[in-house]
Structure 1
Amino acid sequence: MQSRQSVDLSAYPDLIVIMLGFRVSSLRGLASLIGIGKELRSVRENPPEGLLAHEQCLFALNHFGIRQYWRDLESLESFTRSAPHSHWWRDFAKLGRGAGFWHESYARSGAMEALYANMPGAMGFATFAPPLAPDGPFLTARQRLTLGRA
């Protein structure tokens, strides 16, 4: 017998869903991915304040992904600005050769934004939307979410 179910999201008016991906293109990139594996387990086992769910997936043999559900943008930002996340991004910026990273954020309000770093080709929003440099008024996810609705 088939089962159908829906959900009541009324308790989460500021819900943010974020998809993250890490694409390995060399052994150095594989080492980077392995390096953050322990930290990712820690996030899953000890969720930071505001993280409602954390799911991992495999897009391809060399493309690992995560989907996270956050109570609100403030909770997500608090996590991204603190360790271990702030260290991951700093280290990726320094050692990112051999790996690509991306994220796409979707707000319940309808706002969406994305960032793609060192990806070998277009994916997600980048397959149809014109590129935009993530600097100036588009430097942070919050700014991209806000300005993208204008």
Structure 2
Amino acid sequence: MQAADEQAGASGRPRRDSVDLSAYPGLVVVYLGFRVGRLRGLKALLGIGRGLAQVQRRMPDGLLAHENLVYGLNHIGMRQYWRDLESLEAFTRSDPHKTWWRDFSRDASGNGFWHEAYRLSGGMEANYVGMPHPVGLGTFAATRQPQGPFMTSRQRLAS
């Protein structure tokens, strides 16, 4: 971070910046959340946490940035910026993500997980698993089961 005096212009006002995303036409922003619902769910969270630390160190192809977030005492998450949907999909179909998702799908241990994805080129989609209360887009949009032509993120982003 820049020092306060470096952020201020000659007028003393804070410096104001924006971003040029033209180099990232396929940009996908993903918000994810993990909500611990039971004490035994902490074990699952710790396992995922170790894997996420590894992901941040190794930065898979296409992951531009990863930021950790805290939504509440038992609800943590992250925001990720992906170069394009293809890179994100390649990551989700490989380890460690593939193993996390398989294990979580078999036994959520009372925990909840969700993600929301937003494409710069258009489209938004969400998936919520085991969440006791709606979050994000789910707080106002009608729910729909992820089945058939609505099963994958890619299909939901296109609808």
Task: Please state which band the TM-score falls in when normalised by the shorter chain.
Answer: over 0.9
2:73 aligned with 1:61, yes or no? yes
Listed as ranges, the matches of 1:87-126 within 5 Å are 87-126=99-138
Separation in 2, partners of 1:36, 1:122 = 22
Helix, strand or coil for the counterpart of 2:40?
helix
* 1:29 alignment partner in structure 2: 41
Aligned residues: 147
Listed as ranges, the matches of 1:1-150 within 5 Å are 1=8, 2-147=14-159
Which protein shows a greater Rg?
Answer: 2
Structure 2 unaligned spans of 5+: 1-7, 9-13
Structure 1 unaligned spans of 5+: none
Separation in 2, partners of 1:3, 1:102 = 35
Give 1:122 deviation, angstroms. 1.1
Separation in 2, partners of 1:43, 1:139 = 25
Helix, strand or coil for the counterpart of 1:27?
coil
Aligned-residue RMSD, C-alpha: 0.8
Percentage of identical aligned residues: 59
Give 1:29 deviation, angstroms. 1.3
Structure 1 ranges of 4+ moved more than 2 A: none
Q: Give 2:110's aligned amino acid.
A: G
Give 1:3 deviation, angstroms. 2.1
Separation in 2, partners of 1:4, 1:42 = 34
Separation in 2, partners of 1:46, 1:54 = 11
Q: Give 2:46's aligned amino acid.
A: I
Give 1:110 deviation, angstroms. 2.1
Helix, strand or coil for the counterpart of 1:37?
helix
Separation in 2, partners of 1:126, 1:58 = 19
Separation in 2, partners of 1:54, 1:119 = 23
Deviation string, structure 1 residues 71-109 (Cα, Å, up to 9, x no partner): 000000000001100000001011202210000000001
Q: Report the TM-score, using the length of structure 2 for normalisation.
A: 0.90
